[in-house]
Chains A and B, each alone.
Chain A
Amino acid sequence: MNSASSHTRTRHRATFSNTVLILVILFLFLPLFVIITYSFSASKSMEFTTFSLKWYHQLFFDSDELWRAFLNSAVIALSSAAVATVIASGAAIGIMWYRFLGRQYIQILSFLPMVLPEVIIGISMLIFFSAVRLSLGLVTIFIAHTTFNLPFVYLLVTARLDEFDFSTVEAARDLGATEAQSLVKVVIPSILPGMLSGFLMAVTMSLEDFVITFFVSGPGSATLPLYVYSMIRYGVSPVINALSFVLILSIMLIAFTLRRFLKTIAASS
């Protein structure tokens, strides 16, 4: 086969799609570019006048309410992601390896929350919580976030389990390991990357969610997106520009560190 000519053809054919890809990526980054530029501007309105770090100063030293909202978001994100990871990983193992009554029911239920618009999930939960007289607050937000996180973690862990050879577990059992021992020593270590990426995805989605949280939050339980929403509606401060840039940087840092961490795990196993 003439590899040189087929290679140039591949290149040539991809020109149009490459151009679209580059333009779309520029389109995706345009708002970020605008946010970052304005975060260093001294002006309070959306225009660039002179360079200033005052919004960063205000962010770190004079934004109590914002940090309270951030704390709420962090608590909800970590707790709901952790609970969702445990429950969904269990479900992935159970559905993948066992036959039992209700298996198909759980399987169908596991992807339904992903395909309904967020508004519907938010409204139905609000109505549910009021019907069972559970007052709105951090607890209801935690329940709602765990619910919409479950399908995503389940999906990612299932994908990882697909590559896992069940005979390894049988070998462990034949060698006398109990179910709990084989779970802790064999299964969990090998699906850990799937669980971790599921956990991270859940944290991200929880930090990001506005629509569902909007319905199930109560007084004093504002999360960061709710706080940002109130800022957009009732007077914007460029502090949120500064905050966005700080968040982008920290998430990139976390992702980078975790990538190295995951690579180390993959290399050791």
Chain B
Amino acid sequence: MKRSSRLGITYAGPMGLWLTIFFLTPLFIIILYSVLKKGLYGGVEGTFSLAAYRQLVNPAFARVLFRTLIVAVTATVITMTLALPCGYAMARSRHQSFFLGLVIVPFWTNSLIRIYAWIAILSSKGFANELLKQLHIIDQSLPLIYNQGAVITVLVYMYIPFAILPLFTTIDSFDFQLLEAARDLGASRFTSITRVLLPNIRSGIITSGVFTFIPIFGAYTVPLLVGGKDSYMIGNIIVDQVTKTRNWPLASAISLIITLISTVGVMWMLMAGAQEKRERSESLRKAGTR
């Protein structure tokens, strides 16, 4: 199967080179910049300084970091709770490609336009409030937008397909006869799902959760456009450091923190996948020796 190494590097080298220059080098530059002195008009000066990290140790930043974590965890949990039954229903459906299409089509509309549509739905004279008034459920507009609830709703909206698609793929490759077997052996419908289906698709659930959590954790546009004064997330802080305060070392330091958190998530995902593979081959071996 494997042949001369010269050909291999000819094929794969360009991508290796491209990503080294335009992806890896920028990340290393960020590490470097985070320990340099802030330049007067953006940029940095060539002297060593830990000022950026000192600025990170302050209650205001801790508050934003904490809020970002809460929002990201809440949105991810809601997304996953909705995405699991969706993935399951799609995997069991006879019209898989039809439902796949329905989940993907809304994403052909630009994300900013979709956020803008949510502004139109949630604003005080918007679609939702007008509808509720027409139905005489309320007579004064509800504050549906520019608060944490709006941020979480729109984040769930934005990332739910990213959760559904990997879940659908994993559940689709699950052997449903196992569920029938569990039922035949007397398990209730609920037990058969929690004890047979969920453990078998664990790594798929983790992958989908990580792929939902990471972009939500770094969200920038959603809190900016539908959030209120208290909805600032860590992504907004970084962007402000670049565009307004022009504090590149601080922006670099925060970016490094987010990168580290993402890396931990990805390691967890990879380890869960590897463990599942190991368990599977072990149970196969046991079955073989029996």
Q: Which residues of A contact B235 (CB under 8 A)?
A: 117, 119
Q: Does A143 contact B (CB under 8 A)?
A: yes
- Contact status A17-B88, CB under 8 Å: yes
**A93 and B11 in contact, given A16-B85, A25-B103, A99-B5 (Cβ under 8 angstroms):** yes
Determine the residue in chain B with the shortest Cβ distance to A205.
Answer: B107
**A229 and B112 in contact, given A35-B117, A124-B26 (Cβ under 8 angstroms):** yes
New A-B contacts (5) at CB < 8 Å, excluding given A27-B160, A28-B161, A98-B3: A112-B19, A118-B215, A150-B15, A244-B109, A248-B109
Determine the residue in chain B with the shortest Cβ distance to A20.
Answer: B85
**A91 and B30 in contact, given A31-B121, A101-B5 (Cβ under 8 angstroms):** no
A79 to B217, CA, bound (A): 30
Q: Which residues of B contact A100 (CB under 8 A)?
A: 5-6, 8-9, 12
Q: Does B105 contact A (CB under 8 A)?
A: yes
- Contact status A106-B5, CB under 8 Å: no
**CB < 8 Å: which of B2, B82, B117 contacts A20?**
B82
A123 to B161, CA, bound (A): 26
A-B contact pairs, 19 of them (CB 8 A): A14-B93, A17-B88, A18-B89, A20-B82, A25-B103, A28-B103, A34-B120, A94-B7, A94-B12, A98-B4, A98-B5, A99-B5, A100-B6, A100-B12, A117-B219, A119-B218, A123-B252, A225-B110, A232-B225
Q: Which residues of A contact B111 (CB under 8 A)?
A: 208, 210, 225
Chain B, 203-252, CB within 8 A of any chain A CB: 210-211, 214-215, 217-221, 225, 235, 238-239, 242, 248, 251-252
Q: Which residues of A contact B127 (CB under 8 A)?
A: 34, 46
Q: Does B262 contact A (CB under 8 A)?
A: yes
A229 to B114, CA, bound (A): 11
Chain A, 214-229, CB within 8 A of any chain B CB: 215, 224-225, 228-229
Q: Which residues of B contact A38 (CB under 8 A)?
A: 120
**A244 and B15 in contact, given A101-B5, A117-B218 (Cβ under 8 angstroms):** no
**CB < 8 Å: which of B13, B18, B126, B258 contacts A146?**
B18
Q: Among the interface residues B2, B112, B239, which one has the most CB atoms of the partner chain A within 10 A?
A: B112
**A228 and B110 in contact, given A31-B118, A115-B214, A120-B259 (Cβ under 8 angstroms):** yes
Which of A49-57, A60-68, A126-134, A188-196 is near enough to bind chain B?
A126-134
- Contact status A17-B113, CB under 8 Å: no
**CB < 8 Å: which of A47, A102, A112, A130 contacts B9?**
A102
Q: In the complex, how many angstroms separate the beta carbon of B232 from the nearest chain A beta carbon?
A: 13
Q: Does B186 contact A (CB under 8 A)?
A: no
Q: Does A185 contact B (CB under 8 A)?
A: no
- Contact status A215-B242, CB under 8 Å: yes
Q: How large is the interface on B (under 10, 10 to 19, 20 to 34, 35 or more residues)?
A: 35 or more
**CB < 8 Å: which of B112, B114, B123, B218 contacts A46?**
B123
Q: Which residues of A contact B251 (CB under 8 A)?
A: 123
Q: Does B33 contact A (CB under 8 A)?
A: yes
Q: In the complex, how many angstroms separate the beta carbon of A201 from the nearest chain B beta carbon?
A: 11
- Contact status B82-A24, CB under 8 Å: yes
A250 to B168, CA, bound (A): 27
A18 to B90, CA, bound (A): 8
**A contacts, CB < 8 Å to B:** 6, 9-10, 13-14, 16-18, 20-21, 24-25, 27-32, 34-35, 38, 45-47, 87-88, 90-91, 93-95, 97-103, 105-106, 109-110, 112-113, 115-121, 123-128, 130-131, 143-144, 146-147, 150, 154, 166, 179, 204, 207-208, 210-211, 215, 224-225, 228-229, 232, 236, 240, 243-244, 247-248, 251-252
**CB < 8 Å: which of B42, B89, B106, B214 contacts A17?**
B89
Q: Does B137 contact A (CB under 8 A)?
A: no
Q: In the complex, how many angstroms separate the beta carbon of B98 from the nearest chain A beta carbon?
A: 11
Q: In the complex, how many angstroms separate the beta carbon of B28 from the nearest chain A beta carbon?
A: 9
- Contact status A94-B109, CB under 8 Å: no
A79 to B58, CA, bound (A): 45
Q: Which residues of A contact B259 (CB under 8 A)?
A: 116, 120
**CB < 8 Å: which of B9, B30, B221 contacts A127?**
B30
Q: Which residues of A contact B117 (CB under 8 A)?
A: 31-32, 34-35
A179 to B119, CA, bound (A): 56
- Contact status A91-B14, CB under 8 Å: yes
Q: Which residues of A contact B5 (CB under 8 A)?
A: 98-101
- Contact status B9-A94, CB under 8 Å: yes
A99 to B3, CA, bound (A): 7
Determine the residue in chain A with the shortest Cβ distance to B239.
Answer: A119
- Contact status A117-B258, CB under 8 Å: yes
Q: Among the interface residues B10, B11, B111, B183, which one has the most CB atoms of the partner chain A within 10 A?
A: B11
Q: Which residues of A contact B157 (CB under 8 A)?
A: 27-28, 31
**A210 and B108 in contact, given A25-B102, A46-B126, A91-B14 (Cβ under 8 angstroms):** no
Q: Does B43 contact A (CB under 8 A)?
A: yes
**A124 and B30 in contact, given A31-B114, A244-B113 (Cβ under 8 angstroms):** yes
A102 to B90, CA, bound (A): 40
Q: Which residues of B contact A225 (CB under 8 A)?
A: 110-112
